[in-house]
Structure 1
Amino acid sequence: MKKSFKAIIQAIIVIMALLTVAAWHTSNAAAADTSLQRVKQRGELIVVTSPDYPPYEFMVNENGKSKMVGMDIDVAKKVAKDLHVKLVMKSMNFDSLLVAIQTGKADMAIGGINPTNERRQSVDFSKIYYSGGQSFLINSKDVNKYKSAKNLKGATIGAQTGTLQYGLAKKRIPNSTVKGMDKSTDLVLALKTNKIDALGIEKPTAEAYVKNDPTLKMISSGYNLNKNDVGAAMAFKKGSGSLVNAVNKSVDQIQKKHLTDKYLAAAGKYMKVNTVNTSMFHYWTYFAKGVEYTLLISLVSTFFGVVLGVILALMRFSKQKWVRGLAISYTEFIRGTPLMVQVMFVYFGIGVVINIPALISGMIAVSLNSGAYVAEIIRGGINSVATGQTEAAESLGLTKRDMMQYVVLPQAFRNIWPALGNEFISLIKESSIVSIIGVTDLIYQLNIVRADTYRGVIPIFVAMVLYFIMTFALTRILNHYEGKMKHAG
């Protein structure tokens, strides 16, 4: 017990050392400002956003193809053009945008981001390129109840986690209960299903929802705010002065020529394209792509999870104490931390040292997670093999390796097949967590469709059916092979 505890402590020390190296790497990178030079040399401006916030940024289904559009996308295009580089857009959750630029995953973040004093301590900001104002969305049936923000006293307010609106609601609406969610689409659905009374949101986005959904109304927030703190700005890694100065030249031109008005008009046209046909069949390519990525991640993670699980299980039976301790430490640590944290650590944490793409990061994290659980399943299967079987193998002169390969493991897999099947099925569902780093799996595509169509429930139902089809088909396949194993036995 003492040895395994010591091994766990050693594993934690290794992880802390890795984090220290990552922090050192980040601080060194920030010491010399080569931000603009790096972008110029690469020939690309990598920008992250959360495309579920019309009219700032959202996805449009144009001729069956998915396209990222909106005012912020046009602003980013203008910046890239002025820098004479190619624009590369990446999507992820809003609350991961600043983390992405802090860890070097992107050069710039854009997405209706308010340059608050708290955020300025962690990242650099460009000049304000647009100030749309703050408002609340309410249900149409409540227009007489909530005529202004003053009537929201004691109400339940919704706001996107990590946004200015969340903090303002907590500070400015007396006796209110503030509920935060990652996606604005989830918050709108919560409003329409009466889980919240009002939704704090940027005025242009509120107007977009009201225009396309007659069940919603907008009221002014009544906030008296400093324009320089609540407008939208682009965010950069701390110490990126040269890049910020270059981007500010584009912002000056945008403001001088009133280009945001032009960009908003273009976004409005795209929004009409989306709302002309909001049937789920019209968005079948979105769901198909989501299923494709979900199955790809699940298959790859299942394969490597089983390989890692077998290795860890065999390590548990090693005569070397340090080998057993290492396997125990890994298994306990992985099972003791959430998969979401592991995904973020692989992508953002390890990604500081080694730049791993989002899809690969998701596969690695899910594989490492699955391996720990599969190891325990296999260990239980090995222990379930009768000792008489191993004694008979030894009497025949089989080596320990041959005995494990030809006698123990085949019987163990037969015993644990139902448990392994459950792990594989769970993997399909749990892999949805990779959407937080921008992997376009089924959950990610579901949120895009909800943002595009302003329909909250139907896309969720479609995703449920698709998950059921995948898991049911896998269950039938697993049952088929389980029957063959029993027959062979």
Structure 2
Amino acid sequence: MLKIWEKYGHMYWNGLGYTLLFAFVSVLMGLVLGLVLASGRMASVQSRDNLAVKALKAVAKFFCTAYVEVFRATPMLVQVFIIYYGLGNVFKLPDSSLNRMFWGMVAVGLNSAAYMSEVIRSGIGAVPGGQMEAARCIGMSHWKAMRHVILPQAVRNILPAMCNEFVTIIKETSILGMVGIVELMFRAQSIAKQTYIFLEPYVIAAIMYFIIVFPLSKIIAAVERRMSKSVTR
């Protein structure tokens, strides 16, 4: 195993760098799209809304709910294949390597958005309803109240779950190697094929995943405990 590391260590580091990049961009994309999905799912019809606004809210809520349910009820590997071989073939980028990486990140980001929307929705739901009523009473619009009152309080609930999603995505990016995207697992597969050794390369990859994921998980747990203590005080 040491001989493999001495010869191919640079390939592992390269793959790990891409893995972290894919995870960060995918979670960032999932956060932005998840906020939109959560807003759509939480849209409520008001009595003062006209017919067109009511219909728009109903369609948005249906679409956002259907999106979340579909992406949560199907395996990510299937989603990667459908998006990569579907959208990736229809809307091809000039460079094939860039095309693979882009659509791979899009696939993981779309999957992450479904879970992030639930995280955001539950975080907003945990804020007492009286906060919104108080903001509306002082003349704030719904979206202004969400932006200045509700969301800042919801961040405390959202942040730990968002960090956990990042840790999960680091591990789940390993399936991107199935469509030829260069990340840590793809590098391990390449080394195994070159050396005809099929255990040690994967053990090294597992160790690198552990070195990254385990400390991050412990740090997130510690931050979550500290934030919960500050709330109880």
Q: TM class, shorter-chain normalised?
A: 0.7 to 0.9
- How far apart are the structure 2 equivalents of 1:279 and 1:328? 48
Alignment of 1:77-476 (within 5 A): 278-318=3-43, 319=45, 320-356=57-93, 357-476=99-218
CA distance in 2, matches of 1:372, 1:317: 14
Measure how far apart 1:279 and its partner are: 2.9
Decide which structure has the larger Cα Rg and report it: 1
**1:187-211 deviations in Å (ceiling 9; x for gaps):** xxxxxxxxxxxxxxxxxxxxxxxxx
SS of the residue corresponding to residue 455 of structure 1 reads coil
Given that 2:88 and 2:100 are in contact with CA atoms closer than 8 Å, whether structure 1 keeps it comes out as no
Contact map agreement 1:449 1:459 (CA 8 A) in 2? yes
Q: Deviations over 1:252-286 (max 9, x none)?
A: xxxxxxxxxxxxxxxxxxxxxxxxx9432221011
For residues 430-471 of structure 1, the C-alpha deviation after alignment (integer angstroms, 9 at most, x for no partner) is 111110111111111111111222322222221111111221
- Mapped to 2, the partners of 1:397 and 1:486 lie a distance apart of 32
Q: Is the 8 A contact 1:278 1:453 kept in 2?
A: no
Deviation at 1:389, TM superposition (A): 1.8
Q: In structure 2, what residue type is equivalent to 1:350?
A: L
Q: Which amino acid aligns with 2:60?
A: V
Task: Choose between structure 1 and 2 for higher RCO, CA contacts under 8 A separated by at least 6 residues.
Answer: 2
SS of structure 1 residue aligned to 2:31: helix
CA contact (8 A) 1:316 1:323 kept: yes
Q: Could you tell me how far apart the structure 1 residues matched to 2:133 and 2:226 are?
A: 27
Structure 2 residue identity aligned to 1:348: Y
Identity of aligned residues (%): 38
What is the CA-CA distance between 1:373 and the residue it aligns to?
0.8
- How far does residue 351 in structure 1 lie from its aligned partner after superposition? 2.6
Q: Distance in 1 between matches of 2:138 and 2:65?
A: 32
Separation (CA, whole Å) in 1 of partners of 2:212 and 2:202: 15
Separation in 1, partners of 2:143, 2:174: 38
Question: How far is 1:481 from its partner?
Answer: 5.1
TM-score by length of 2: 0.83
Q: Structure 1 length as normaliser, TM-score?
A: 0.41
More strand by proportion, 1 or 2? Answer: 1
Going from structure 1 to structure 2, the CA distance change for 1:439 and 1:486 (only over 3 Å counts) comes to: same
Aligned residues: 213
CA deviation string 1:79-133 (max 9, x = no partner): xxxxxxxxxxxxxxxxxxxxxxxxxxxxxxxxxxxxxxxxxxxxxxxxxxxxxxx
In structure 2, give the amino acid aligned to 1:289. N
In structure 2, the residue matched to 1:251 is none
Following superposition, the deviation at residue 336 of structure 1 comes to 2.1
Work out the CA distance in 1 between the residues paired with 2:90 and 2:9. 38
Q: Distance in 1 between matches of 2:28 and 2:4?
A: 36
